[in-house]
Structure 1
């Protein structure tokens, strides 16, 4: 049996599922390798990170966490934006005392689709009583000029990580500071809702419990009921948050004395207090992969784990 209890593994992976649930918009990175069998979802796991390689299988054990969702929505003030695909991947160093340390991949943990804001710039700030804004609104019959994309960005380290909350419902799992970048020719390149100094603080939780499954496979990913690797599957949960506040937009419109900031905030109802905003992610799929009995390969668990991952690359 594994030295790290299944309950602890389950809590860790559920908690990290939430990271994928709320971070539903992001930026793309380089293509990841394709992996065989049970390793399949863990394409960006940082198995070669020093903290992962240093795990011994006794006091510290290495694991890969993957969480993704295909759809959902986020409501900021008066504006609701549908979300697309999100894929979160992280390494986790699971400590014998039940605590854990998250290790992000070199290019970042999140890959996700940017979202298109419904109604575009017309819906975001038009009509307006401000003459300058009205002149912009008259030019927005061109679909390319009207389109706005929104991208969520992390602006600090996660905090308040609660493993036990990951297996419960309606309990905050983690706090994540984020900002949302709005992109459109009229908005310039520095238009954000939230900032590094005053971010949106998301505290996701499970709205519904996931279905639990467990499978084992060999080091190269081939299914094997007595294999050295195991994967916990947590499937189908709805996750989100409805407790966060949203600050106003800033930096929009090429520094035009805050006119566009004000127009965006007025039309969208920003800043918006806690309880007036929400995030929902549908049908989240989470996988945690680790050594089934890490103590057997002590003190080289991290190295064995890395070698196994590389052996599964197609």
Structure 2
């Protein structure tokens, strides 16, 4: 692999690590052997991935995971649960790239409990209708609010080389925070598809980078057909995004309690009043050691290797 091509895919690896702290829950794919293990949902059979020729276009797999993070929106602090990103990336000869999501979505995140629950989100209140809801909170089940950060669109403004450095926005990610509770319903969001929170995270520090070779079926080997690159140890942050008001909070998702959530949480909140902190991510990229040797069928060869690793 040329030094320029390796630098390009390394940049994609580090940049895509940022997305790993944002997503929705879904099932894992088949279990894969050895060094292929982190890539069990990679869309290797996507038509664009299969069409990669290894010269002008190179198919790769990305996987990134993070254990935790925090988003402060107005006066509310929302944790992020364990997250995982998996995607295919087609790196083009001009240094640009195209991200390919799995059929069930690229992002996976566990829900996290909102500290303080419903009592912290909108209670107490002197307004009768809200006060009546607060009076019903007699146990932890009724008070518990789960928060999941969900993507609501395709990331944009993708800057490859920012992912290897620090203090530069890597990409723009439109998201919403999904709040769930028996009393406010399951359609309560901060941010929407039409008015999302747009995150522009950047590396706090430069990630550590390492590479190792492995055979087609995932077994480590010094002269393997595959190479796995790792970018680890860097956290990300963003303090520039604005946050819109809540929507859909209340019975039947009609928004009767939107104002109560907004009032207690200080929403909408302008840029500078919010922050994102993503804890250390472990990110991996897998590609052929010599993509040109598989031309014009690099994508198809890559897919065959992935399938050969399935247990």
TM-score tier after normalising by the smaller chain length? over 0.9
> 1:145–1:220: structure 2 CA closer, same or farther, 3 Å change rule?
same
Q: Secondary structure at the match of 2:155?
A: coil
Is 1:59 equivalent to 2:35 in the alignment? no
Is 1:252 equivalent to 2:249 in the alignment? yes
The residue number in structure 2 matching 1:220 is: 217
The residue number in structure 1 matching 2:46 is: 49
Question: Following superposition of structure 1 onto structure 2, how do residues 272-287 of structure 1 map, counting pairs within 5 Å?
Answer: 272-287=269-284
Structure 2: 5+ residue runs without aligned partners? none
> 1:257–1:3: structure 2 CA closer, same or farther, 3 Å change rule?
closer
CA distance in structure 1 between the partners assigned to 2:237 and 2:165 by the alignment:
13
Structure 1: 5+ residue runs without aligned partners? none
Is 1:166 equivalent to 2:163 in the alignment? yes
Deviation string 1:151-205 (CA, Å, 9 cap, x unpaired) is: 2222111111110111111111111111111111221232111111111001111
Is 1:208 equivalent to 2:205 in the alignment? yes
Deviation string 1:225-259 (CA, Å, 9 cap, x unpaired) is: 11110011001111121111110101111269854
Deviation, 1:141, is 2.0
Larger deviation, residues 269-278 vs 302-311 = 269-278
The residue number in structure 1 matching 2:90 is: 93
Contact 2:83 2:110 in 1 (8 A): yes
The residue number in structure 2 matching 1:239 is: 236
2:144 equivalent among 134, 142, 147: 147
Deviation string 1:259-280 (CA, Å, 9 cap, x unpaired) is: 4111111111111111111111
CA distance in structure 1 between the partners assigned to 2:255 and 2:63 by the alignment:
41
Is 1:130 equivalent to 2:127 in the alignment? yes
CA distance in structure 1 between the partners assigned to 2:103 and 2:301 by the alignment:
20
CA distance in structure 2 between the partners assigned to 1:63 and 1:257 by the alignment:
44
The residue number in structure 2 matching 1:7 is: 7
Q: Secondary structure at the match of 1:190?
A: strand
CA distance in structure 2 between the partners assigned to 1:257 and 1:313 by the alignment:
46
CA distance in structure 2 between the partners assigned to 1:200 and 1:139 by the alignment:
31
CA distance in structure 1 between the partners assigned to 2:4 and 2:213 by the alignment:
16
CA distance in structure 2 between the partners assigned to 1:290 and 1:62 by the alignment:
7
CA distance in structure 1 between the partners assigned to 2:169 and 2:50 by the alignment:
30
Aligned length: 311
Q: TM-score, normalised by structure 2?
A: 0.96
